[in-house]
């Protein structure tokens, strides 16, 4: 499963050497000044100190085809791994819900493609979509039909009737377009049937809502959603298949603990986590994906329903306090934005917010690279810049450890490379390499 849905990279003969930049490899150690990265056939064959001119590991077991590598001088620049957003919704926008409901399904798909491209251009080379997107978008990216991060999908998040993904108003009207798979699970049979349907539909992860939420019309983050016994049943059911990890939308303290005890791999949001919940996460190694870009953002009250705005104000303050406590306690953090609830294409604001709540800049970068790759079970291929990994990287002309706020501006992300393919070069630092276009 670790190498599933990694898109075709580039021609095996493509050979590039990046020289002179500072290297933040994603492992959390001190940056390496004047580094060198050698890329062959979409993978890294060397990452380390800059070598003597003309030396290359490609001659040691790597066929160069007699062609000299393209050498790019990046003095004064900084190279980091391609970032991973562990929590997005490419097909979602909670602001102006009436307009969203009025759109044709085909338009929503096109908008998903636009959101995916904006996310890639922001420096995110891998993303986990936790609801509302089916495998058509993921597979289209893999095939090169559209540009975007490689994706892991939940397809549809699950909750009971009246829970977080029951978007039915008291009068019976819906506040959201229909999900790809019916999200409502009330009985054991519902659970088994729905999990089997999601696996059949290509889900890489199963998402359950063990609490209510901020954006849902008929519950609150303190309400219990999918109960602990159903979480356990889901974990048991996925163990019979590809072992899909289970992610829990969980905001109130009791639902967070129910999710952890039920065996989830990650708690999404975790806004109201209490001390007991923190201890459980530390004990079991459960990941926290705090979605601070959404949690700390208060939307314009003119653009959202009153119930959503009121809950947002209250729970933003709770999240600011309790997520900071969890981070300080050493809970394992993987960053994700909840884009769709907050704007798409501004994904690296998450690293800035993580520092705002107590992580160091280096810890925030690791949380958005190595830790997130571990959560997605993709550590063999992405998350760090090391020999054998896919050449997913971003290049900037500033020191993010000195000022991480600059990562939040997509215009400051000058180069994005995904699997060795050049996706963005806004500074023209790669003059001899074409930027990849659709079907290119």
Domains, the chain, ordered by start: 15-81+383-425 (2.30.40.10), 83-375 (3.20.20.140)
Confidence of residue 380 (pLDDT cuts 50, 70, 90): very high
Separation between Cα atoms, residue 230 and residue 190, nearest integer Å: 10
Distance CA 54, CA 211 (A): 58
pLDDT at 6 exceeding the cut of 70:
no
Q: Answer whether residue 99 shows pLDDT above 90.
A: no
Q: What is the mean pLDDT of residues 374-386?
A: 98
pLDDT at 438: 59
- Residue-level pLDDT at 335: 98
Judged against a pLDDT cut of 50, whether residue 23 lies above it is answered with yes
Beta strands at 15-19 and 70-73: parallel, antiparallel or unpaired = parallel
Q: Report, as an integer, the average pLDDT of 314-319.
A: 96
C-alpha distances out from residue 261 to 32, 228, 258, 270, 421, Å:
41, 7, 5, 14, 42
- Low-confidence winner among 289-293, 319-323, 428-432 (lowest mean pLDDT): 428-432
Give the CA count within 13 Å in the CB-facing half-sphere of 158: 28
User: What's residue 433's pLDDT?
Assistant: 79
DSSP string across 103-124: S-HHHHHHHHHHHHHHHHHTTE
Res. 5: pLDDT tops 60: no
Can you give the pLDDT at residue 98?
80
187 or 61, which is more confident?
187
- Looking at residue 187, its pLDDT comes to 98
What pLDDT is stored for residue 324 in this prediction?
A: 98
Confidence band of 96 (pLDDT split at 50, 70, 90): confident
Note the pLDDT of residue 439. 45
Q: What is the pLDDT of residue 8?
A: 46
- Please give the DSSP secondary-structure letter assigned to residue 354: H
DSSP 58: G
Q: What percent of the chain has pLDDT over 70?
A: 93
How confident is the model over 299-308, as a mean pLDDT?
87
Structure tokens at 367: 């949380």
- How far is the C-alpha of 102 from the C-alpha of 109, rounded, in Å? 14
Kindly report the backbone phi and psi dihedral angles of residue 91, in degrees, each rounded to the nearest multiple of 5, phi listed first.
-95, 10
Per-residue confidence (pLDDT) for residue 56, from 0 to 100: 58
**Which pLDDT belongs to residue 233?**
98
3-state class of 91 per DSSP? Answer: coil
Q: Structure tokens of 169?
A: 């108003």
Q: How far apart are CA 255 and CA 407, in angstroms?
A: 33
Mean pLDDT of 205-229: 94
pLDDT of residue 68: 86
Residue-averaged pLDDT of the chain: 92
At residue 125, the 3 state secondary structure works out as strand
**What single DSSP character describes residue 335?**
-
Question: What's the average model confidence in pLDDT over 230-248?
Answer: 96
What pLDDT is stored for residue 100 in this prediction? 83
pLDDT in the model for residue 299: 87
Q: What is the pLDDT of residues 149-181, one digit of tens each?
A: 999 999 999 999 999 999 888 898 888 888 999
Query: pLDDT confidence of 57, banded at 50, 70, 90?
Result: low
Q: pLDDT grade, residue 134 (50/70/90)?
A: very high
pLDDT over threshold 70, residue 193: yes
The C-alpha atoms of residue 247 and residue 250 are separated, in whole angstroms, by 9
Q: What is the mean pLDDT of residues 232-253?
A: 96
């Amino acid at each position: 499963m670790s190498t599933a849905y990694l898109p075709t990279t580039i021609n095996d003969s493509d050979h590039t050497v990046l020289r002179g930049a500072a290297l933040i490899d994603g492992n959390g150690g001190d940056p390496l000044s004047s580094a060198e990265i050698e890329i062959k056939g979409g993978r890294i064959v060397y990452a380390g100190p800059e070598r003597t001119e003309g030396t290359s590991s490609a001659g040691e077991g790597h066929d160069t085809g007699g062609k000299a590598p393209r050498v790019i001088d990046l003095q004064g620049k900084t190279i980091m791994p391609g970032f991973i957003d562990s929590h997005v919704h490419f097909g979602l926008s909670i602001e102006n819900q009436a307009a969203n409901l009025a759109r044709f399904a085909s338009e929503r798909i096109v908008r998903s493609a636009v959101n995916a491209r904006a996310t890639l251009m922001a420096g995110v080379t891998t993303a986990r979509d936790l609801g509302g997107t089916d495998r058509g978008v993921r597979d289209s990216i893999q095939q090169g039909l559209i540009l975007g991060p490689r994706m892991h999908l939940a397809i549809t998040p699950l909750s009971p009737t009246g829970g977080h993904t029951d978007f039915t108003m008291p009068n019976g009207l819906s506040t959201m377009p229909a999900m790809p798979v019916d999200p409502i699970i009330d009985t054991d049979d519902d659970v088994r049937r729905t999990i089997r349907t999601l696996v059949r539909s290509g889900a890489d992860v199963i998402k359950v809502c063990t609490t209510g939420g901020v954006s849902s019309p008929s519950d609150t983050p303190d309400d219990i959603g999918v109960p602990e016994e159903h979480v356990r049943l889901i974990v048991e059911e996925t163990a019979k298949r590809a072992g899909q990890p289970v992610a829990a939308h969980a905001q109130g303290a009791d639902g967070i603990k129910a999710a952890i005890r039920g065996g989830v791999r990650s708690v999404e949001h975790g806004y109201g986590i209490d001390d007991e919940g923190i201890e459980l996460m530390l004990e079991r190694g459960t990941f926290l994906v705090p979605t601070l870009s959404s949690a700390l953002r208060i939307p314009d009250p003119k653009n959202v329903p009153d119930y959503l705005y009121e809950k947002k104000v209250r729970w933003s303050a709770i999240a600011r306090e309790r997520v900071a406590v969890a981070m300080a306690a050493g809970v394992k953090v993987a960053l994700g934005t909840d884009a769709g609830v907050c704007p798409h294409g501004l994904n690296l604001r998450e690293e800035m917010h993580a520092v705002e709540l107590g992580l160091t800049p280096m810890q925030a970068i690791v949380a958005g690279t190595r830790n997130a790759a571990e959560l997605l079970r993709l550590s063999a291929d992405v998350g760090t810049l090391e020999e054998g990994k896919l050449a997913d990287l971003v290049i900037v002309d500033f020191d993010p450890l000195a000022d991480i706020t600059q990562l939040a501006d997509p215009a400051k992300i000058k180069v994005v490379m995904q699997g060795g393919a050049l996706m963005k070069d806004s500074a023209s630092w790669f003059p001899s390499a074409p930027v990849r276009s659709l079907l290119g």
